[in-house]
Amino acid sequence: MKRLLINTTILIILAGLFASCKKRIEDDYMNPELTTNGSLGKLLSGMYMNKRVRPSYWDYYTFIMSTQAPFSQTVALQPTTQMYIPSTSYTQDRWTDFYAGSWSKDDNDPNYYGPGIMSTYREMQTTFKALTPLQQQQQQVFMRCAEVLLYDQASQMIDMWGDIPFNQAGSLNTDRQATGAPFDDAATLYNAFIANLKSLNTYFDTANIITSASAELKLQDMMFKGDLLKWQRYTNSLRLRLLMRISNVSEAAARTEVTTMLSDPATYPLIADNSQNAVIKMSPTALKSDLGGVFSDFRVAPAYLLDTLMLANNDPRTPVYWDTNQSGQYVGFPYNGSSSDFETTGKYATYDSATFNYNYNIPGVLFTASEASFLQAEAYERWSVGSPQTAYETGIRQSISFYYDLNHSVVLRSLSWDTLHVPQEPAITAYLQKPAIAYSGTATQKLAKIYTQKWEHFFILQAGQAWAELRRTGYPALKFATASASGATTPPVRLLYPSAEQLYNAENYSKVSSKDTRNTRIFWDIN
Amino acid sequence: MQRSFFVCTVLLLLCAFGAIAQEKKAVSGTVLDEKGSPLIGVSVQEKGTTNGASTQENGKFTLKVASNATLVVSYIGYLKKEVPVSGDVLNIQLAPDTKGLNEVVVTAMGIKRETRALGYAVSTVTSKELTQTGSPNFASALYGKAAGVKVIAAPGGASSGVSVQVRGITSINNSTQPLYVVDGVPIRNFNNLTAPSFGTTNNRIDGNGAVDINPEDIESLTVLKGASATALYGSEATNGVIVITTKKGSKARGLGVDVNYIFTKENLAYSPDYQNEYGPGYDAQTNVVNGIDADGDGMVTDADGSRHPYYRSYAQFGPKFDGSDIKYWDGSTRKYVENKNNYKDFYQNGYNSTANVALSNSGDNGSYRFSYTRTDYKSILPGSKLYKNNFNFNGTLKLGSKASVDLVSSYNNNFTHNRAYTLSNVFGSFDGFFSRLDDMQTYFDRYKTTNGYKYVANDNLNYDQDQRLAYRIRAANLMDYLWNNLRNNYDERQNRFINSATLNVSILDNLRFRGRVGGDFTNWRAVDEEHNTQPVGFGYTGKYQVEQRSNNIFYGDVMLTYSPKLTADLGLTVSGGFTGRKQNYTYQTSYTDVGLASENWFSLANSAGVLKTSAQRAEQIDIAGFGILNLNYKDFLYLEGTARQERTSTLPAAVNSYFYPSVNAGFVFSDVFKLPSFVNYGKLRASYGLVGNHPSIYQANVGYYQYGLAYSGSTILYQQSQSNSFGNPNIQSEKKREFELGLETRLFDGKIGVDFSYYNNKVSRQILLASTAPSTGATSNLINAGDLANYGYEAAINATPLTLKDFRWTSRFNFAINRNKLAALPEGLSDLTWNVEGGGYLIVKSEVGDALGNIYVHPRNQDANGNYIVNGDGYYTNNLNEYKYVGNMMPKIVGGFSNTFTYKNFSLDVTLDYRWGGKLVSIPTYYQIGGGMFESTLQYRDAAHGGISYNVIDDATANYVAAANGTRHDGLILPGVTEDGRANTKVISAAGYYLNNFNWRTEGDYSAAVFNNNYIKVREIALTYNMPKSITEKLHFQGLQLALIGRNLFYLYKSLPYGLDPEVAVGSTWLNQGVDNGTVGPTRSLGASLRARF
């Protein structure tokens, strides 16, 4: 009997243990390193940490310098059979970084990983939806800033692929289920962005932000520190870019909207000065541009840019863009040069060591004053609403000062170089008077000069814009070597949809698959 | 459900106390063998109790038993005998067991059962089979030895993981590895609790927990295969369970010392079938268009008049080797000739040395065995080596007559230097392709400079300019490989303790209690020392990293077993208990960022940038209650039912509890029916069970990662959503149900034994990290994705074909056939697709009804009549909108064939294993075909190899015209039609053909990357000589054995071409096992062993 008692007791204790484990087991379900509390401010900062928004080694190495820059000749390309066939893995990475981002459990090295744009925006929407109406009103500003960034990045996606999933993209981030999103029409999306940016301008103009939200925004908004006037300028400038991008295909609509904007700068302020630029600066301790490896492999200057455009006209930007070759000369690699010449070490000029190769402080460039000036110059020239020459020359001056500022703010990885002297006014004036630079000639020639200068300004820092505008305008009139791969003898005019989208969003992909060729032009590309 | 389970258990245990104590009487006796000699150490037990004794030196025993008791007398190698207690003194004679009927196996929860009583299939592997040929770990010694168990040892030798797959694939995406239970404690198999698979980490081939178990310490190994056999392990059991029992002190032997030494030399076994006639270079068109060489002959002439082939080329279509003087890329002048053995020269000679000492003893109060094993291993890969120290203690202490404690403790200490590094960057990347011209010694000489910096590439103008390479070379990845593995150090140190203590108490004669606590604790540290690649003046390089990982498992179980005596014919055993397990995992790392500020000073204090750290932690708890009911009718009909109710922390609270029942029956029909006299034994088995597989820890979570960032004088926190492996708050556990039928027979006095099983299972709610379109917000998402069904047959046949006076031949053959198919998919999912070669050029896809592992590639464009369409340049093109099926990865049949020939004191063991059916995808091989590496790519290169003659109109546009006596003879015309339907007449060059037809994506024909993977391999041979007793006794040995051994010897047959090895694949998932991504050359081991007993 005693034994029975003991055994029963043991059994009851065990049963008790079994039950008490239940709570512990439920607590152990959630990863302690993960939070379920989304924060609009922290998610907004995440958008700046997207590795295509800020400069990352991976983006520059696998995409900018191997796809966008060579296709717009801001870097020299070694002739190979398949030089015009972009790696589909790398283009898929580019696509994925917009929608989902990338992440590693071991080491979230910003050179390789970072949040997505669409996914972050959708998570912000999900978080926003869970707030009370009062909280929503107070925190709306985070959503609005994110919206501008979203349109900027999404339009860049359209410039590369055409139709993209947009309106229904990011289903995992909203209802936690993977549902294939349709590919939305590129032109319709562009129009929607243009319309929404107009109301965003009004919002930033009139927004009244409570102190707590503005303090948080000031911290989390790495680009403008919560300065809503700067956001307004960026919003309008972006809208101007998109309008000019569609101005060849929908000229009347673009002309009306652009004219309205440019004739009322008080309502539609633009980025008018380099201090208003939409750039994400680096903070060399933790967030730095780490592109040395890029510029040691993609180093060679292209001849048209360096020899024909810069050197021949004594461009003041030459020393800030380039280092001379081993013999102390600025020589670029000709578009039709040979592979062995390309490989001859020290034969060609390379990217400037201080400004690019060894610089930890290359910013992520979203929009600069110079681009806004060139866009205005084009509008003025085509639609006679203002002085194109002033805008054009302002654009060049802003570009020169932008690049010298870059050189003056370098944080060097190692070694040291003397800081370059800012070009004196006579040198700039002389440059502006060179026949190839001066604002003269027929309307076509003038436009060509605007486009060419803008292309030079975009350079490799905005290689995506350089490639898009090259396709839209046809300038500068570049020549490309012929590759021997059959079907890919010239650069493509768009990128192919990534296989992950073809395979796993098959139903929606089938509706755009006929357009999925390297020769299908983006809707604005009617050049 | 849970409550009723409790009630049942309680009632059941209460029943146990109804047993009635009985009166005792003393019996004694002697146990003799068939010749009348006394047997020592024979177990004599009172039937149905734990009450028992062992025979002493003279074969005598004494025991107190119930008056009407029956004694069960058993001894290894002899037939078990049941003797009713008739008088006080018994003389018992045992007959030798030539049929092996009384084998006892350890089953789930450490319960010992007679094979005869089992209603499900098990395979057992003996200690001898595991250690005979000095396999570095027990898992790779399992090749071909257990029916239905497929073993894949990753290349790279002793440190590389071994994947074991029982009965096909039961999980598409979750763990496919069995649960390993050592002396009752489930041990850790994966390094990372959050990732239930292994493959490679930073290009190094992972190990797994099972390889730490020292084969020399294993007494027996049982593989539990079906769901009924493993149901007591519930959620861990879908992939089978491997139950390992370590060696104990033996009472028969008293004090004993064993000394074993094994040494094997390990060498590269096979090289690829490379061609040896042409050096590096591209086709003439590429040479001309890209300005490599104006005349297109592939030989570049420098300004100083020296000649050289184009070293940047990954392809081998350069000039034919002619012995002329050329300038080599290191600047020296050499003859332009092939280096036939340069692949082989890359590898070094490895070895494996294992020394083992074991001490054991046994007495009245218990027994113990202590063993120490030292293993030294040098890989065939340059720079890789390891050593291991294994200590094992296994002791039993008797606490009076009713209770005993078993203590098992093993300590494992490993050091691994530069764990095997995959060669995917060398053979799977064009930047690793070296040519037949290359002299491997030059790579070994030049990967670092005399000042200890990394090699100076031709375009590197920074340092050690006197050592700058004369030309740009292609195989930079090969140089990097040598730098990483010869200059840099990645050193891992592991300490692992596996302990268990088991208390056995006989509460009453028919009521037993067992309680067990155990633990498996691993502490692992690694340091990574990467040297500065250049002087710091040119920028910081190098890295120092420390990593620390700990894996702790705490395990406990309690069990009460009640075996009342019901009637003379009916036996009953009822058990019930609880089991719980807690697993902890932590990982921490700190490393220098940017580089090392002072050259080659490996310290975290020497980081040029802000030091980086990261940490992970995880905790998982699983608890369960279980019950077992066994019925035995007249020792010919056995019934068993088991149940387990389980709760796990890896699932959301609402769905974290599961019930896993099973039933099985064994029917020894040979005891009931009159059968032909040649049938000695026959048994039918049937079983049915449910088991599960839950998601791995934290996999289902949905949340944000948060990071801090020092920025502009403040700290910014930012959040990131799950961009891959997106969680799922509604996930449920996988559920496997399995039905199994089996037949065991022994015929012709045990000369032939057959064990046959048929099984049919279905795993529903497959947990899958399904690839998703990135536009959904993540690249993969955890889902319950449909059902997977398997069925199969497996059989083990053993035979003794020949027995002569001094000669005996025994043979064991097994095979396993498994078929699987995707039985269902959830709505909205039409198929499961894996994008094996990026860009969708080679995919693995299954729709409902398909087997897993169907391989598809883009088909060639064809016209309506099935003719291949040739484009304007003369090449075939792909239809990128379609896919064609090119085969399935799954083997159709796998198994082994072992033979033992003994003649007097000699014995020869030969073990073969085979695999038939199924494909291997080898992307590196495909690239190497395109690069003209293999002998087969000589075709068309000259007239002798079938090339046609043509004249060159223009190389730049590849405009060639066929001409009987043309200037070149490496032409071909692809059969097919042009786009407008005319017969193709366009001449292309052989080099152009290989480069385009086997190109990276574009118009490449990826069906050329898919190969039949059939093989029969002579896995192990051991020629053993047992020194005769007359000699050993003089030398004061109890036994002395010498053996010549060989492992992974050669293939009797293999279907893979190009010298590709059937076992190149790395990784534990089924998909990884079907895909070669460029690993390590296969090895062959030859050596000798010495086993001595004192």
Q: For chain A of 527 residues, list the mean pLDDT of each consecutive stretch of 10.
A: 64 65 86 93 96 96 96 94 90 97 83 96 97 95 97 98 97 94 98 98 93 92 96 98 97 96 96 97 86 92 97 97 95 92 91 94 97 98 94 98 96 89 95 96 96 98 97 96 85 95 93 95 93
Shortest distance between the Cα of A174 and any Cα of chain B, in A, equals 9
Of B1075, B758, B1048, B1006, nearest in space to B158 by CA: B1048
By Cβ distance, the residue of A25, A115, A169 closest to B721 is: A115
What beta strand segments (E) does B256-379 contain?
Answer: 256-268, 299-301, 307-309, 325-327, 333-335, 350-363, 366-378
The token pair at A411 is 């944080």
> Taking a contact as any Cβ pair under 8 Å apart, which residues of chain A between 284 and 323 contact chain B?
285-287, 292
Q: Which residues partner with B149 through β-bridges? A: B166
Helices (DSSP H) in B282-358: which residue ranges?
284-289, 342-346
Residue B22 is predicted with a pLDDT of 46
> Taking a contact as any Cβ pair under 8 Å apart, which residues of chain A between 22 and 51 contact chain B?
22, 24-39, 42-43, 45-46, 48-49
Dihedral pair phi/psi, residue B101, rounded to 5°: -80, -25
In terms of DSSP bridges, do strands B679-693 and B657-667 run parallel, antiparallel, or are they unpaired?
A: antiparallel
Q: Which residues partner with B948 through β-bridges? A: B971
By Cβ distance, the residue of A46, A96, A292 closest to B539 is: A292
- The H or E element spanning position B814 is strand B807-824
Of A52, A49, A55, A53, nearest in space to A295 by CA: A55
**B293 contacts in A (CB within 8 Å)?**
340
Q: Are B1076 and B924 in contact (CB under 8 A)?
A: yes
Q: Which of B289, B610, B720, B1001 to mutate to test the interface with A (most CBs of A within 10 A)?
A: B720
Residue B60 is predicted with a pLDDT of 81
Q: Does A108 touch chain B (CB under 8 A)?
A: yes
Q: A283–B710: do the CB atoms touch at under 8 Å?
A: yes
Of B416, B375, B386, B523, nearest in space to B201 by CA: B416
Distance (Å, rounded) from C-alpha B892 to C-alpha B41?
46
> Taking a contact as any Cβ pair under 8 Å apart, which residues of chain A between 227 and 266 contact chain B?
none
By Cβ distance, the residue of A102, A338, A501 closest to B775 is: A501
Residue written as tokens 């939200």?
A: A213
Q: A103–B724: do the CB atoms touch at under 8 Å?
A: yes
Residue B11 is predicted with a pLDDT of 39
> Taking a contact as any Cβ pair under 8 Å apart, which residues of chain A between 416 and 475 contact chain B?
none
Minimal-distance CA residue of chain B relative to A513: B881
**B652 contacts in A (CB within 8 Å)?**
29
Query: Which DSSP string corresponds to B817-862?
Result: EEEEEEEE--TT--EEEEEEEGGGTEEEEEETTSPTTEEEEPPBPB
Q: Does A328 touch chain B (CB under 8 A)?
A: no
Distance (Å, rounded) from C-alpha B302 to C-alpha B308?
8
Distance (Å, rounded) from C-alpha B564 to C-alpha B19?
7
Q: Count other C-beta atoms under 10 Å from residue B994's C-beta.
A: 25
The Cα-based distances of B508 to A87, B18, B426, B936 in angstroms read 74, 10, 67, 76
Q: B775–A169: do the CB atoms touch at under 8 Å?
A: yes
Distance (Å, rounded) from C-alpha A38 to C-alpha B313?
51
Task: Report the amino acid identity of residue A345.
Answer: T
Of B846, B913, B886, nearest in space to B1062 by CA: B913
Q: B705–A33: do the CB atoms touch at under 8 Å?
A: yes
SS3 letters across B634-658: CCCEEEEEEEEEEEECCCCHHHCEE
Of B957, B680, B398, B744, nearest in space to A486 by CA: B957
Task: Report the amino acid identity of residue B766.
Answer: Q
The token pair at B274 is 């490379």
Q: A343–B458: do the CB atoms touch at under 8 Å?
A: yes
Dihedral pair phi/psi, residue B112, rounded to 5°: -85, 130
Q: A484–B312: do the CB atoms touch at under 8 Å?
A: no
Q: Are B662 and B687 in contact (CB under 8 A)?
A: yes
Distance (Å, rounded) from C-alpha A426 to C-alpha A430?
6
**B775 contacts in A (CB within 8 Å)?**
99, 118, 164-165, 169-170, 180-181, 501, 505
Shortest distance between the Cα of B1082 and any Cα of chain A, in A, equals 30
**A7 contacts in B (CB within 8 Å)?**
13, 17, 507, 560
Q: B719–A38: do the CB atoms touch at under 8 Å?
A: yes
Residue A270 is predicted with a pLDDT of 98
Residue B255 is predicted with a pLDDT of 81
Residue B8 is predicted with a pLDDT of 40
Of A47, A80, A50, nearest in space to A66 by CA: A80
Q: Are B622 and B656 in contact (CB under 8 A)?
A: no
Shortest distance between the Cα of B344 and any Cα of chain A, in A, equals 31
Count CB pairs under 8 A between chains A and B: 323
Residue B10 is predicted with a pLDDT of 40
The token pair at B69 is 């008791």
Q: Does A99 touch chain B (CB under 8 A)?
A: yes
Shortest distance between the Cα of A133 and any Cα of chain B, in A, equals 23
What is the sign of the dihedral through the CA atoms of A92, A96, A101 and A105? negative
Minimal-distance CA residue of chain B relative to A297: B459
Q: B289–A484: do the CB atoms touch at under 8 Å?
A: yes
Task: Report the amino acid identity of residue B602.
Answer: F
Shortest distance between the Cα of B929 and any Cα of chain A, in A, equals 18
Residue A57 is predicted with a pLDDT of 96
What beta strand segments (E) does B89-203 contain?
Answer: 89-93, 104-106, 112-114, 122-126, 149-153, 162-166, 179-182, 185-186, 200-201
In terms of DSSP bridges, do strands B350-363 and B489-508 run parallel, antiparallel, or are they unpaired?
A: unpaired
Minimal-distance CA residue of chain A relative to B829: A504
Residue B251 is predicted with a pLDDT of 65
Residue A4 is predicted with a pLDDT of 66
Q: B458–A171: do the CB atoms touch at under 8 Å?
A: no
What beta strand segments (E) does A227-370 contain?
Answer: 278-280, 322-323, 350-351, 364-367
Q: Looking at this predicted complex, what is its ipTM?
A: 0.94
Shortest distance between the Cα of B25 and any Cα of chain A, in A, equals 25
By Cβ distance, the residue of A38, A102, A341 closest to B723 is: A102
Cβ burial A97-112 (10 Å sphere, 16+ → b, else e): bbbbbbbeeeebbbbb
Residue A14 is predicted with a pLDDT of 63
Of B98, B130, B101, B102, nearest in space to B223 by CA: B130
By Cβ distance, the residue of A18, A34, A118 closest to B701 is: A34
Minimal-distance CA residue of chain B relative to A483: B289
Residue A102 is predicted with a pLDDT of 95
Q: B1002–A485: do the CB atoms touch at under 8 Å?
A: yes
**B717 contacts in A (CB within 8 Å)?**
39, 42, 45
What average pLDDT values come out for chain B (1094 residues) when binned by 10 residues?
41 37 70 74 73 74 79 76 77 68 81 89 89 83 87 82 86 85 91 83 88 90 91 88 89 80 94 95 90 84 91 94 95 95 94 94 88 94 93 92 92 94 86 94 96 94 93 94 95 96 91 94 97 92 96 95 88 93 94 93 93 91 94 92 93 90 94 88 94 89 92 90 92 92 90 94 89 95 90 93 90 94 86 86 93 95 94 92 94 94 93 94 94 95 95 92 93 94 94 93 92 95 91 84 94 94 84 86 93 88
Q: Which of A2, A17, A18 to mutate to test the interface with B (most CBs of B within 10 A)?
A: A18
Give yes or no for a cis peptide into B309 (omega within 30° of 0): no
**A338 contacts in B (CB within 8 Å)?**
290-292
By Cβ distance, the residue of A17, A343, A346 closest to B312 is: A343
Residue written as tokens 């006080």?
A: B88
Task: Report the amino acid identity of residue A196.
Answer: N
Residue A6 is predicted with a pLDDT of 66
Dihedral pair phi/psi, residue B629, rounded to 5°: -125, 125
User: CA A522 from chain center: how many Å?
Assistant: 18
